[in-house]
Chain A
Amino acid sequence: MSTDETGPGGAKTPESTKTPGEAGPDLLQLITPSGERISHPEFDFWVRDITDDQLCSLFEDMTVIRRIDVEATALQRQGELALWPPLLGQEAAQIGSGRALRADDFVFSSYRENGVAYCRGVDLTDLLRVWRGNASGGWDPYSINMATPQIIIGAQTLHATGYAMGIQNDGADAVAVTYFGDGATSEGDLNEAMVFAASFQAPVVFFCTNNHWAISEPVRLQTHIQLADRATGFGIPSLRVDGNDVLAVMAATRLALDRARRGGGPTFIEAVSYRMGPHTTADDPTRYRDANELEDWAAKDPISRLAGLLDRKGILSAELQQQVKDKADAVASEMRRGCTTMPDPQPMDIFKHVYSTPNSWLERQQEHYARYLASFGDPDGAVSKEGAR
């Protein structure tokens, strides 16, 4: 079924003539693709405190997370990671929003928000644990107030909403923030989460990174209207921002957080960006997307855009660029070291943490498998490269 030209019923609808996610007058932008800072009567307020130093710091974070992404992709190609979901092109969406959060806010993300995890202060080795196949989760969620990233599309949006209901019960002013992509907007869980969030006016921010692709499916397959407009139907105010503009993303996120903290309920943010890389390292986008599209979006690159602004301000010195590059290289090499020196999990680890209290079924299986392994004399010797004998 073609969804390109016609709406349901075959009639050409006004919405179907434009591609959801394209830039337009309804897109909040504070920095143009060429790096010009444009003023906005409402949203300038939300970034009024951002100094030149902070702009440089945002530039550094975005550069570092891109470097992390490149390094992780290389580690996958070198056989050190089983898989990696690149975020190339989405640095502004992740750093701009991640840097807007408070330490006591809680993030429920998908698997691609490694830039947000970086903002939360994640240990770099923990970032790779899952992708190396060493564990099912990387970090202790309470150590950085960020849940274990979700693989099931959209499921985390309900967790964020429930967490926000808990915040409400506690009388706290923290906010739950959930990240998901354009594909997730078709899932029942997100739609149910918006019903609950609206009904209870829960302090939750729905941050949708519209990167235009859900693996091979273009956003127009998920929707014929702007994603931000969906939220309106749930009674949730929404914002559509240029997701490659770090200031616009930060301004929108701050507004949404402020509303939630003041008891104003949920907000939906659609950050319009583009997934420049594959869905994961196992994907091949040349099978389904046009190289021209990539070129168009390369011209809107979030890091070049901020560099453009710094340049216009006369603060993009060679020294700054070198300093940022050195930092990125240092982080990448620390991460690589953490990855390659990560101790292998032990066979009996698979039985750990299934339950938090003793379980007779599992204890019996565990005991039997331990005996089986012990029957080889050396427990480690029982597992060959191909798996258990």
Chain B
Amino acid sequence: MTQLTFARAINAGLRKSLENDSKVVLLGEDIGALGGVFRVTDGLQKDFGKHRVVDTPLAESAIVGTAVGLAYRGYRPVVEIQFDGFIYPAFDQIVSQVAKLHYRTRGAVRMPITIRVPFGGGIGSPEHHSESPEAYFTHTSGLRVVTVANPQDAYTVIQQAIACDDPVLYFEPKRRYHDKGEVDESMDPRSALPMDKARVLTDGSDVTLVAYGPLVKTALDAASAAADEGISIEVIDLRSLAPVDYEPVVASVRKTGRLVVTHEAAQSGGLGAEVAASITERCFYHLEAAPVRVTGFDIPYPYSKLEMHHLPGLDRILDGVDRALGRPNSLSGLEG
């Protein structure tokens, strides 16, 4: 076991993948000598060469589009999109090409492409640097979408994503890059929890709290604060956003009867809506209250001085928990 930051854990996972499979190549802007703007690829070009860790011209559609061509040639490209808000120029290549080529070729051509996306807010950046675009991609069939919430998962899931024969969007919670955690680098990703499985983090009996990525830590903090008030929260780290692993969520809600989902992304049409609808379909007769969403607002990501109003924090999550429990909360007295 070693103590690694999130960023170093991803770096170690990328290094392992580069070592284990000569077909793995990294593409992105500033990922070479600089090691990426977040230093996630630090040292990799030096050790694996310019042909395997490729600094590309500044064109996101081309970064993903050339990855498609490399995949056609039998490579396993790992693409870095520098910031969440920079992914949109590559949208067509991701949605119309990466996601659909396996289907279009009736299974003849595989697209084992990993698209790494630092996402989410909380770092005081100007616009386009703090977005949560995951729902665009969870809505696109043919893609797998995963997030990680601790350095150990960051290390193993990146390797699982690269080894996966389907395209994977790997969302990295950028405000947690410097958080440290224990990482067992000897862990074989093939024997670790698969990337498409959710993980129950705390055992609870009153409310099921579903989170992913950067808000998992906030959710855990909320659970321990609630415990002080005698409220028992079961926190689930969703990990995979497409597909969502509903089994543990269903089991939990059947036990607690109450569901709170939280994410930084805007509420309408977001993943929380999908989780709430699916759990309602599957657990309707076990629910004691309507599912509650605690999310970012339906606004462009705000300027940094006010971003903490947009981001669900511990108190807003607890307010949502109170709503699920029918306790006095900010919306008490409002109907619907």
- Tell me the A residues contacting B by CB distance below 8 Å: 106, 108, 135-137, 140-142, 147-148, 152, 155, 157-170, 176, 188-189, 192-193, 195-196, 199, 352-357, 359-362
Contact = CB atoms under 8 A, between A and B. Distances in A.
B107 A162 contact: no
Interface in B132-174: 141-142, 144, 164-166
Contacts of A140: 105-106, 108
B13 to A, nearest CB: 19
A192 B65 contact: yes
Interface string B224-267: 00000000000000000011111000000000000000000000
Contact of A196 (B62, B102, B142, B243): B62
A189 B165 contact: no
Interface residues of B, number: 50
Contacts of B71: 162
A361 B72 contact: no
A148 B66 contact: no
A362 B244 CA distance: 11
Given A192-B65, A354-B103, A155 B92 contact: yes
Contact of B59 (A148, A162, A166, A196): A196
29 contacts: A106-B72, A135-B106, A136-B106, A137-B104, A137-B108, A147-B72, A152-B92, A152-B97, A155-B97, A158-B62, A159-B97, A161-B66, A162-B71, A163-B72, A165-B54, A169-B51, A189-B93, A193-B66, A196-B56, A196-B57, A196-B66, A353-B102, A353-B106, A354-B102, A355-B142, A355-B144, A356-B166, A359-B144, A361-B242
A158 B62 CA distance: 6
Contacts of A193: 62, 65-66
Contacts of A169: 25, 51-52, 75
A155 B65 contact: yes
Question: A interface, by DSSP: helix, strand, loop or mixed?
Answer: helix
A189 B62 contact: yes
B243 A189 contact: no
Contacts of A352: 106-107
A356 B96 CA distance: 17
Contacts, number: 147
Interface in B189-247: 196, 242-246
B243 A357 contact: no
A176 B69 CA distance: 10
B69 A142 contact: no
Contacts of B68: 158-159, 162
Nearest to A361: B243
A284 B201 CA distance: 62
Interface of B: 25, 51-52, 54, 56-57, 59, 61-62, 64-75, 77, 89, 92-93, 96-97, 100-110, 141-142, 144, 164-166, 196, 242-246
A356 B102 contact: yes
Contacts of B166: 355-357
Given A148-B101, A155-B97, A354-B141, A189 B51 contact: no
A161 B27 CA distance: 14
Contact of A360 (B57, B142, B243): B243
A137 B105 contact: yes
Q: Which of B57, B72, B166, B243 has the most CB of A within 10 A?
A: B72
Contacts of B243: 359-362
Contact of B245 (A106, A147, A355, A360): A360
Contacts of B73: 106, 162-163, 166-167, 170
Contacts of A136: 100, 103-104, 106
A357 B66 CA distance: 23
B5 to A, nearest CB: 30
Most buried by B among A168, A170, A352, A354: A354
B76 to A, nearest CB: 11
Contact of B75 (A141, A157, A166): A166
Given A152-B92, A163-B72, A362-B243, A192 B103 contact: no
B101 A158 contact: no
Nearest to A202: B66
A95 B244 CA distance: 49
A42 to B, nearest CB: 31
Contacts of A161: 62, 65-66, 69
Contacts of B61: 158, 188-189, 192
Contacts of A176: 69
A168 B73 CA distance: 11
A362 B62 contact: no
Contacts of A357: 164-166
Which 8 pairs, one residue from A and one from B, show the smallest C-beta to C-beta distance? A162-B69, A158-B65, A166-B73, A162-B66, A192-B62, A361-B243, A163-B69, A159-B69
B107 A356 contact: yes
Contacts of B74: 166
A159 B65 contact: yes
A362 B141 contact: yes
B119 to A, nearest CB: 21
Contacts of A141: 72, 105, 108-109
Contacts of A195: 57, 59, 62
Contacts of B141: 354, 362
A104 B93 CA distance: 25
A296 B200 CA distance: 73
A155 B96 contact: yes
A360 B106 CA distance: 20
Contacts of A196: 56-57, 59, 62, 66
A277 B277 CA distance: 51
Name the residue among A164, A193, A352, A356 with the largest chain B CB count within 10 angstroms. Answer: A356
A165 B70 contact: yes
A167 B75 CA distance: 10
